[in-house]
């Protein structure tokens, strides 16, 4: 056999091989199309989930920041309230000591001033006399109204 025939046979085998490879590649591409579509859908689904998770993470971070600011504000208010309570306590203690000093001063002045003591005794006696007089007048009025009967005069209109 001549070399040219071998060349044609080799060329025919090569062409048949290329056809078989083309058919194989075509079948391979046709067979891989469906899994690639599924992979693309899964990738899109995964991307959507990732976007949703990022959105939720951003929302949660925003809420965390709001809660943090709220806690800071409330903490400041509680601190102010505690400071005010301490100030009120100190004010009450100061007021008590001032009242105590004034009371002690008044008591010592009353005890030391004999004129005031005499005047207080006079006022006490006068008050007792007034109460006694009031009681006397009341009993006299009650006695007078029960013993005397004043006839009632009716006005008749004609």
Question: Which two structure tokens, joined as six digits, stand for 87?
Answer: 């100030």
Say what the pTM is: 0.40
Per-position pLDDT tens, the chain of length 158: 688 898 999 999 999 999 999 999 999 999 898 888 999 999 999 999 999 999 999 999 999 999 999 999 999 999 998 888 888 888 888 888 888 888 888 777 767 776 677 787 888 899 999 889 888 888 887 776 665 555 445 554 44
- Domain map of the chain by residue range? 7-114
Q: Are 116 and 110 in contact (CB under 8 A)?
A: yes
DSSP of 53-87 = HHHHHHHHHHHHHHHHHHHHHHHHHHHHHHHHHHH
Q: Are 117 and 110 in contact (CB under 8 A)?
A: yes
């Amino acid at each position: 056999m001549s070399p040219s025939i071998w060349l044609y046979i080799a060329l025919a085998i090569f062409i048949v091989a290329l056809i078989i490879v083309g058919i194989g590649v075509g079948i391979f591409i046709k067979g891989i199309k469906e899994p690639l579509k599924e992979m693309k859908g899964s990738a899109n689904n995964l991307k959507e989930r990732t976007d949703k998770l990022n959105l939720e993470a951003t929302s949660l971070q925003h809420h965390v920041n709001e809660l943090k600011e709220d806690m800071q504000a409330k903490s400041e208010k509680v601190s102010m309230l505690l400071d005010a309570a301490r100030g009120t306590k100190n004010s009450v203690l100061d007021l008590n000591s001032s009242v105590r000093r004034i009371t002690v001063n008044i008591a010592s002045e009353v005890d030391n001033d004999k004129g005031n003591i005499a005047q207080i005794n006079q006022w006490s006696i006068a008050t007792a006399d007034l109460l006694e007089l009031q009681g006397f007048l009341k009993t006299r009025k009650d006695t007078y109204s029960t013993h005397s009967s004043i006839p009632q005069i009716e006005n008749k209109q004609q």
